[in-house]
Amino acid sequence: MTYCVAIKVRDGLVLTSDSRTNAGVDHIASFRKLYVLEIPGDRVIFLQSAGNLATTQSVITMLQHQVKSAERHVLNVPSLFDVAELVGKTIRQVISRDSGQNQGVDFSCNMLVSGQIKGDEPRLFHVYPQGNFIEACDDTPYFQIGESKYGKPIIDRIIDFDTPLDRALQCSLISMDSTLRSNLSVGMPLDVITYHADALESPGIQRIDETNEQFLKLRAAWSEGIRELFDNIPLFIKGE
């Protein structure tokens, strides 16, 4: 599996993806699940993927090929809504191409499409395996794909549209840590993007691996903090 989270706050976007791919516990590999397409100064588009690796790699590659050969592509359509539509259409094409000889394989994938096009705000979409999609709004400023449940409570408790960018990054890393601890199919290293609104170019992908001292400190501080909080909270409810 995979765990990706994308948060859209007033100040910009925070995107976090793990990099584990597995087909059974004995076939584990590390693959990027975070991609950038951009024309600096005009637009920057981020793609995060979860699901069948063959499908997601095909979708990304076909979107890149479209830039060279198609009339409409992600780097020339007028809005991020159109980008989400193109991604959805491409997902449908790949899944229908591959699922002829199904044999019980799950070809589906989910993608998060985010970024900013000049003249518009940063936007964030979740594109489903069926190719349809939804957009994040101020009330629900984040989307998750993959193994999303373990890391959802901390985001639900902390994130709103006014959370500062650095705090949103820290929250998404704690969410990732909770998931890493509880589910073997999500694994380091992590790929992270912290995009400041109106930058209109990618800040580059920040890679956090097992030896990253700051991440280890964060894990330890959170883990100790939770234990301390738990130990110090009064025993409100006693067994009867």
14 binds a second copy per the rule CB under 8 A: yes
The rounded distance, in Å, linking the Cα atoms of 51 and 98 is 14
- List alpha helices for the chain, DSSP H: 53-69, 80-98, 152-158, 165-182, 213-232
CB of 166 to a second copy, least distance (A): 5
Residues in the chain: 240
The rounded distance, in Å, linking the Cα atoms of 219 and 208 is 13
27 binds a second copy per the rule CB under 8 A: no
Per CB under 8 A, the list member of 9, 174, 186, 200 interacting with a second copy is: 174
Please enumerate in sequence order all residues whose Cβ is within 8 A of that of 172, keeping only pairs 6 or more positions apart, or say none.
5, 7, 14, 16, 155, 192
- Compute CA 138 distance to the chain's CA centroid, rounded to the nearest angstrom: 18
218 binds a second copy per the rule CB under 8 A: yes
Per CB under 8 A, the list member of 40, 41, 78, 225 interacting with a second copy is: 225
Per-residue mark of binding to a second copy, 122-151 (x: CB under 8 A): -------------------------x-xxx
Of 48-56, 68-76, 113-121, 222-230: span binding a second copy (CB under 8 A): 222-230
Residue 143 backbone class (left: φ over 0; alpha: ψ -120 to 50; beta: rest): beta
38 binds a second copy per the rule CB under 8 A: no
Q: List residues near a second copy by CB under 8 A.
A: 14, 147, 149-154, 156-158, 165-167, 169-171, 173-174, 178-179, 181-183, 192-194, 203-204, 206, 208, 212, 214-215, 217-218, 221-223, 225-227, 229-230, 233-240
